[in-house]
């Protein structure tokens, strides 16, 4: 006896369910679909940013701002990455901290203009603003990911952090997300980047 399986999307429309010839249902990750639709972007600083030796407050080392208007796309954060470029003479550790800014934050300067697509599209087509060294409101900083370890010989690059956010932070239109690096050595210089999906509000079922 044949059985028909039906599935419905968030809009209530019926969508097809695919299977292999052997009858194995194919389940595709939502983020793979977002990538295929061209929603994925990445941006990263290129110059070294000096790590902080105290808890961050009103100065962010890297800020992603969603310049969409109300009802526009939401930025679903996939990961935040850090690469240690220069370290002091001794082995040291460094940690990534993030701060989510609510709707209505002051729009920062667009210091980094390239938005690299994660689906092979031309680098562009995003309303995102990326700032290095923005003055921000301290809306609450929290550590994310596992601490990185610098190059123990000093000076050389090598250490890194990749914090998998996996959608647990979403930046709404006119909101933002800032990043900072804390270290036991002010001579630790890093570059910071973010990977996100620009998802229409309707696909997130956002009220």
* Residue range 64-88: mean pLDDT, rounded: 94
Q: How far is Cα 69 from Cα 114, in angstroms, rounded to an integer?
A: 21
CA 140 to chain centre: 17
Neighbours of 81 (CB within 10 A): 20
Which of the four pLDDT bands, split at 50, 70 and 90, describes residue 4? low
Asked whether the beta carbons of 196 and 38 are under 8 A apart, the reply is no
Looking at 26-35, 77-86, 163-172, 179-188, which range is the least confident one?
26-35
Q: Is residue 20 part of a domain?
A: no
> Can you give the residue range of the structural domain that contains 45?
29-204
Q: How far is Cα 106 from Cα 165, in angstroms, rounded to an integer?
A: 24
Per-residue pLDDT tens digits for 102-114: 999 999 999 998 8
Per-residue pLDDT tens digits for 141-179: 999 999 988 877 777 788 899 999 999 999 999 999 999
Q: Is residue 118 part of a domain?
A: yes
- Rounded to a whole number of angstroms, the distance between the first and last alpha carbons of the chain is 42
The mean of the pLDDT values for the chain is 88
Q: How many domains does the chain have?
A: 1
Q: Is residue 1 part of a domain?
A: no
Q: Is residue 141 part of a domain?
A: yes
The pLDDT of residue 156 is 76
The pLDDT of residue 12 is 61
* Residue range 117-138: mean pLDDT, rounded: 90
Which of the four pLDDT bands, split at 50, 70 and 90, describes residue 200? very high
Asked whether the beta carbons of 84 and 160 are under 8 A apart, the reply is yes
Q: Is residue 5 part of a domain?
A: no
Q: Is residue 9 part of a domain?
A: no
The pLDDT of residue 80 is 98
The pLDDT of residue 194 is 98
Q: Is residue 3 part of a domain?
A: no
Q: Is residue 135 part of a domain?
A: yes
Closest to 179 in 3D by CA, of 194, 166, 167 = 194
Which of the four pLDDT bands, split at 50, 70 and 90, describes residue 16? low
């Amino acid at each position: 006896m044949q059985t028909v399986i039906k599935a419905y999307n968030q809009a209530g429309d019926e969508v097809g369910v695919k299977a292999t010839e052997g009858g194995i249902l194919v389940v595709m990750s939502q983020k793979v679909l977002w990538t295929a639709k061209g929603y994925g972007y990445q941006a990263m600083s290129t110059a070294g940013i000096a790590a902080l030796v105290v808890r961050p407050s009103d100065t962010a080392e890297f800020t992603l701002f969603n310049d969409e208007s109300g009802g526009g796309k939401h930025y679903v954060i996939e990961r935040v990455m850090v690469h240690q470029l220069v370290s002091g003479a001794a082995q040291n550790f460094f940690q990534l901290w993030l701060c989510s800014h609510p709707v209505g934050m002051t729009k920062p300067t667009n210091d980094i203009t390239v938005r690299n697509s994660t689906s092979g599209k031309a680098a562009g087509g995003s309303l995102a603003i990326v700032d290095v060294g923005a003055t921000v409101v301290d809306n609450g900083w929290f550590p994310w990911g596992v601490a990185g370890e610098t190059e123990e010989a000093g000076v050389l690059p090598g250490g890194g952090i990749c914090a998998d956010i996996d959608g647990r932070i979403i930046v709404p239109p006119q909101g933002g997300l800032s990043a900072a690096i804390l270290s036991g050595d002010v001579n630790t210089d890093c570059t910071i980047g973010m990977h996100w999906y620009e998802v229409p509000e309707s696909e997130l079922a956002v009220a």
